Structure 1
């Protein structure tokens, strides 16, 4: 699996363009906005999009989902159904944060812990990691040892839990029981900021001591 990070929106959210090198079929993970920019990158890399993946329902992660899905006729997979209230509230979120208008959407497939997602010859494991939002999921690709973790974990920090239905204890539990066992060598792509590894965060992240 190959991955390219494309920061989008005023929140510099890391949208991930991921693809199978054998087939050049791929996905956009968390296309939060700046749709023209995203589709330019897809074309530049010569990728055929198969689907859209969502880690959670916050505006900066899913603001472009409905439009891209409609224009490109793409299915939407994720997040977990516990984030339905966030997705239904997208029109109100756009007003609150001054974003361009966007529609809510219904995922083609809600995801649960233990599910898998496929595109090309690539299979991603799905980990339900609540805390930042109740329906947050993480995508893990075993062969490349890469995890796309959304706003669960960052370099030197963790996701906020002061949003509606956020829970600090759930977040720490998810990080330690779902992400740590993946292995210290695993590189993760966070929803904002630079990449890191699970091992580095276990050793130095002040929120996880």
Structure 2
């Protein structure tokens, strides 16, 4: 598997590029800022056969500006890709300009969402298989994205948790649509039900493991 993490913007969002090494089909998770930097890495990444990557989806774990601010620029460059988001964050997504205004940022209106995530749907991108897990609480449409193991393509299972679960912490719930009780329920029922040894790749900060957070996270014990 081809995997590149780029920490972008003043909020230090963990943007990921993942691609199938055989077909070059790729996804970008949470293009939150610095579109030029994201596109530079995308251009430089190749398959083992020297092929350019072809982005099929722009996955968004939720629609806060630090996870979507570069989406328009990346989508306009990668014309065959689709913007993917859970329907319950559509209102938040459409308020990108207003979100930016709170921080003195002049952002453009977002492009339309082209694929709405459905809980437990499976999306295949080349040899990569993703499952969508609806994990509201940080926002109504927050999702965690599970990448399934595929030994033939050297793909190891991992979970991209967005701002739902962090190493030793959880997402904030004092923003629009946030709900602490819903968040804790999402984590305990939807994430802690996964195998302990699955890596958790959050939207900010270092990676962790499901089992470590299940045992040690002070907000979820």
- Does structure 2 retain, via aligned residues, the 8 Å contact 1:127–1:139? yes
- Does structure 2 retain, via aligned residues, the 8 Å contact 1:140–1:148? yes
Of residues 42-51 and 174-183 in structure 1, the stretch that sits farther from structure 2 once superposed is 42-51
Counterparts of 1:99 and 1:118, CA distance in 2: 35
Of residues 143-152 and 46-55 in structure 1, the stretch that sits farther from structure 2 once superposed is 46-55
Correspondence for 2:15: 15
- Does structure 1 retain, via aligned residues, the 8 Å contact 2:57–2:84? no
Judging by fraction of residues, say which structure has more helix.
1
Counterparts of 2:169 and 2:108, CA distance in 1: 29
Q: Secondary structure at the match of 2:3?
A: strand
- Does structure 2 retain, via aligned residues, the 8 Å contact 1:56–1:78? no
CA displacement at 1:52 relative to structure 2: 0.9
Correspondence for 1:90: 96
RMSD: 1.3
Once superposed, which parts of structure 1, at least 4 consecutive aligned residues long, lie more than 3 Å away? none
Counterparts of 1:100 and 1:19, CA distance in 2: 32
Which aligned pairs between 1:16-95 and structure 2 lie closer than 5 A? 16-46=16-46, 47-95=53-101
Distance verdict in 2 for CA 1:128–1:37, change over 3 Å: same
Counterparts of 2:178 and 2:159, CA distance in 1: 22
Q: Structure 2, unaligned stretches of length 5 or more?
A: 47-52, 150-155
Counterparts of 1:162 and 1:56, CA distance in 2: 15
Query: Looking at CA atoms only, which structure, 1 or 2, has the larger radius of gyration?
Result: 2
Q: TM-score if structure 2 supplies the norm length?
A: 0.90
1:122 matches 2:128: yes
Give aligned pairs, total.
209
Correspondence for 2:179: 167
Residue by residue, what CA displacement relative to the aligned partner does 1:76-130 show, whole Å, maximum 9, x if unpaired? 3432111011111001111211335232232111111111122112110000000
Correspondence for 1:142: 148
Counterparts of 1:34 and 1:65, CA distance in 2: 10
